[in-house]
Each structure stands twice: as structure tokens, then as C-alpha cells.
Amino acid sequence: MISQVIKMVVMSMGVGFLVQVVQSSLSTNYLNSFLSQNLITILIALLAINSATLGIVLTKIRDLVEKHGNAQCFNSTKKQMILSIKEQIALIIFAVIFLTIVSSDVLMHYENLKLLLDAAVVGIFSYALFVLYDTAKGVLIIIDFDVNSEA
């Protein structure tokens, strides 16, 4: 589980740095400005969407367990769901911290640090999108789940 989180952090930071390079090449600051104004709201909305979606998935899992038993088959699924919620709460906390630091006037003299923090903010957004993708993928797996083929 930890290796999965580390992989996601590295991928998200890579996306963040790539976006910063592209923005610099295009002489634009659009995404940074947009995220500084909207990231917290987006993350809270994605957490709400994810929570509602997980509720639907849990209902489907409960139906499967009631019909066929074998609840322990879904222990890994439960752990991944809890991890998903924890990740999203951590993303909100990190977003508040990084956006607060990025908006500080003290950083105006440290261009490289500002670049790093801007990349981290975009990385947080990317990570949230990866979590949303994983949740959607999980819904499709549960919907298509066939007990007979899994047994």
C-alpha cells in the first residue's frame, strides 16, 4: 500500500513539474492562478463525489455478500476505500499548506522554491484526479463482478 502511494506521489509530482515547464514555455501562469483560487473547492467536491460513489460500491458489495457470503473476499477492497478517503483528506490539508506558502510574499525572492511549490500544487490536483480515476475504475469492476468467475 505504501509503495502504491509513493508511486502516485512521484507520478503526480512529475505531472506537476511537466505542467510547470509547459506553462513556462508558453509564458502563462493560467493553471497556477486557477488552482490557487479553486483547488480547495475542487478537492472537497471530489471527496464528496468519491464518498458518494464508495457508498454505492459498498451497497453493491453488501448485496453480493448477502447473496453469496464470503465477505473476507472484499477485505482488500475495504482497505483501498479507506486509503482513498485518507489520501483525499491529506490532499486537502497539503493543498491548504502549499497554497498558503505559495501566496506568501516572502517567496518572491526564491524563484526555484516557488517553482517547486507550484509543481506540488499541480501535483496535488493530479493526484486527486488519479484517485478519482481509481474510484471510477473500481465502480466498473464491481458492476461487472461475477461471483461464479471469481470463485
pLDDT digit string (tens) for 35-94? 999 999 999 999 999 999 888 888 888 887 888 777 777 778 788 888 899 999 999 999
Q: Which three cell numbers stand for residue 79?
A: 482497505
Q: Which residue has the cell 478537492?
A: 43
pLDDT digit string (tens) for 78-120? 888 888 999 999 999 999 999 999 998 887 788 888 899 999 9
Q: Which residue has the cell 499541480?
A: 122
119, 17 Cβ separation under 8 angstroms: yes
Return the SS3 of 21: helix
95, 40 Cβ separation under 8 angstroms: yes
Higher pLDDT, 18 or 1: 18
**C-alpha 146: how far from its chain's center?**
28
Model confidence at 146: pLDDT above 70? no
What would you measure as the largest C-alpha separation in the chain, in angstroms? Answer: 63
Q: Is 121 exposed, middle or buried (0-12, 13-18, 19+ CB in 10 A)?
A: buried
Which residue type sits at 119? Answer: A
**pTM recorded for the entire structure:** 0.86
